[in-house]
Chain A
Amino acid sequence: AQRVTQPEKLLSVFKGAPVELKCNYSYSGSPELFWYVQYSRQRLQLLLRHISRESIKGFTADLNKGETSFHLKKPFAQEEDSAMYYCALRPQTNAGGTSYGKLTFGQGTILTVHP
């Protein structure tokens, strides 16, 4: 079974400050890790995935298999970053034909960036 933990329900920072949203996971196989974001009154959308190793809207996340973490970071937060952020995991390999893309989400972190 897989599990995703986001220890912070709420995170507040001031504009221009660095921000880090924590995500830890447990899974015995090879995971794919994602960050999804939900802006106010909008649908859940993919922010970034560890496989792409890209920076989106200034955010980066590195998969640390030793610490089983996938923390989301941005060096200078902007007010428009205020949103709900979800870390999610899906198995990378098709074990027994059941790993078709089902996502396991954390509980989410509400990020508020103050002016």
Chain B
Amino acid sequence: GAGVSQSPRYKVAKRGQDVALRCDPISGHVSLFWYQQALGQGPEFLTYFQNEAQLDKSGLPSDRFFAERPEGSVSTLKIQRTQKEDSAVYLCASSRWTVMNTEAFFGQGTRLTVV
């Protein structure tokens, strides 16, 4: 594909509902990141995958957040029992390698609104 693709672009969830956000990285990209961007803030790291391995999930705010990348390509971020404070834009980024001098390419994000 042309770039990192995220779906849905917009999601409205009732408090307590479970949601699943999808990320299609650029084909062949080894590294995949999820970031959370609250209104008026910069993106904040949630979790990192190297192929199918989740090497860092230190940024996940609670055990209601879960991410997977079972085949090392598409990734899903799942939020259980959504709360109002989960409202944010969720960004996915991928990069070709794991070494330092590689650029991260971002998707357009999924805007989650919990009502």
Q: Please say whether chains A and B are actual partners in one complex.
A: yes
A positions within 8 Å CB-CB of B: 4, 6, 9, 32, 42-46, 51, 86, 88, 90, 92-94, 98-108
Give B100's nearest chain A residue, CB to CB.
A92
**Docked-complex contact A108 and B31, CB < 8 angstroms:** no
Q: From residue 26 to 66 of chain B, which have CB atoms closer than 8 A to chain A?
A: 31, 33, 35, 40-45, 48, 50, 55-56
30 contacts between A and B (CB under 8 A): A4-B42, A9-B40, A42-B108, A43-B107, A43-B108, A44-B43, A44-B91, A44-B106, A45-B105, A45-B106, A86-B42, A86-B43, A90-B100, A92-B100, A94-B100, A99-B100, A100-B31, A100-B56, A100-B98, A101-B31, A101-B100, A101-B104, A103-B43, A103-B45, A103-B104, A105-B35, A105-B43, A106-B42, A107-B42, A108-B41
Q: Would you list the 3 A-B pairs with minimal beta carbon distance, nearest first?
A: A105-B42, A44-B106, A43-B108
**Docked-complex contact A46 and B101, CB < 8 angstroms:** no
Q: Select one of B3, B44, B50, B109 contacting A100, CB under 8 A.
A: B50
A17–B31 Cα distance when bound, in Å, is 40
Q: Select one of A4, A51, A98, A108 contacting B101, CB under 8 A.
A: A51
**Docked-complex contact A101 and B106, CB < 8 angstroms:** no
Say yes or no: A107-B41 contact (C-beta < 8 A), given A100-B98, A102-B33.
yes
Q: A104 contacts which chain B residues (CB < 8 A)? A: 45
**Docked-complex contact A105 and B33, CB < 8 angstroms:** no
Q: How many residues of B contact A (CB 8 A)?
A: 28
For residue B18, CB closer than 8 A to chain A, the reply is no
A103–B103 Cα distance when bound, in Å, is 11
Say yes or no: A102-B100 contact (C-beta < 8 A), given A44-B91, A107-B40.
no
Say yes or no: A101-B33 contact (C-beta < 8 A), given A43-B109, A44-B91.
yes
Q: B108 contacts which chain A residues (CB < 8 A)? A: 42-43
For residue B95, CB closer than 8 A to chain A, the reply is yes
